[in-house]
Amino acid sequence: MSRHCPQCGKRMDQSWQQCMYCAREEQARKGNTPERESDAGEEGMAENKGRQPTRVGRDAAPAGGRKTQFYPGAPEPPSEGRTADDTRKIVGVLVSYSWKSGGQLFEVREGPNHIGAGEIKGENNLADIYCPQDSTLSSDHALILAQKGQIFIRDLASVNGTTVNGRLLHPESTEPLPSPAEIAVGDTVFTFVRFDPSSGAAIAAPLQPERDTEPAPRPGKMSKIE
């Protein structure tokens, strides 16, 4: 014997506990049908995507909420030359007119001061006196060392050598650096002047006497190979 819904009068299946026609109409009135929920969700997502504001500036998050992550152990990019937080005392300066008509000024501070066109050997830092324009300058070419009130210079086995006042230094030898002095490394020429940190006055010392032994002839310049 068939059953009929007492509300809508439609025929009901024997297995139905309630009239499915009435249930669907009720859901439709409430706007809660599964089909409409899915449609509304998709439309809402599309609308939200379309409404995301455009972000500008350094602190803006990239599109999609993605951002660059830094992982422990990953190599850091080398810092460029002398950093602003270097608090070592200034004991001299280097001035060069080789690459800029107005000149370039470099600080010489207590401790090591590397001259070069690239990174310091064994470190992830660029040379303190950084001259990337010079293709004949080694990455870590020479070192000026200020310690205990004295200043020395050393050629770090560079490709094209280092001269002080026209005299070629022997590779890896450490020698006193007079003031004033002309230092030539690659195609870059510096004038070095030392200062007295207590007074700020320039220090002029007599030039070093000529040595009895002749230095090795300076090799012909080669392009940097490193």
- Counting residues of the chain whose pLDDT is more than 70, the rounded percentage is 65
Residue 213 confidence class, pLDDT cut points 50, 70, 90: very low
Mean pLDDT over the full length of the chain: 77
What pLDDT is stored for residue 23 in this prediction?
81
Domain count, the chain: 2
Average pLDDT over every residue of 139-157: 96
Query: Do 108 and 36 share a structural domain?
Result: no
Average pLDDT over every residue of 44-55: 48
What pLDDT is stored for residue 217 in this prediction?
57
Residue 209 confidence class, pLDDT cut points 50, 70, 90: very low
Query: Do 108 and 7 share a structural domain?
Result: no
Query: Do 139 and 35 share a structural domain?
Result: no
Query: Do 103 and 36 share a structural domain?
Result: no
Query: Do 197 and 101 share a structural domain?
Result: yes
pLDDT exceeds cutoff 70 at 46: no
Map 100-165 to HEC letters.
CCCCEEEEEECEEEEEECCECCCCCEECCEECCCCCCCCCCCEEEEEECCEEEEEECCCCCCEEEC
Query: Do 101 and 25 share a structural domain?
Result: no
Query: Do 38 and 99 share a structural domain?
Result: no
Is 176 in a helix, a strand, or coil? strand
Angle at 63 between CA 60 and CA 67, to 5 degrees: 65
pLDDT exceeds cutoff 80 at 137: yes
- Counting residues of the chain whose pLDDT is more than 90, the rounded percentage is 45
Kindly list the distances between the CA atom of residue 52 and the CA atoms of 31, 40, 41, 48, 62, in Å, as whole numbers in the listed order. 27, 18, 17, 6, 12
Query: Do 116 and 11 share a structural domain?
Result: no
Q: Is the residue at 176 inside a domain?
A: yes
pLDDT in tens, 55-86: 433 344 444 444 444 445 544 445 455 656 78
Residue 110: which CATH number?
2.60.200.20
Q: Is the residue at 105 inside a domain?
A: yes
Query: Do 197 and 99 share a structural domain?
Result: yes
Q: Is the residue at 96 inside a domain?
A: yes
Query: Do 95 and 194 share a structural domain?
Result: yes
Domain that holds residue 133: 90-203
Query: Do 30 and 97 share a structural domain?
Result: no
pTM assigned to the model: 0.57
Out of 116-125, 165-174, 201-210, least confident range: 201-210
174-176/90-96 β-pairing: unpaired
What pLDDT is stored for residue 202 in this prediction?
75
What pLDDT is stored for residue 222 in this prediction?
67
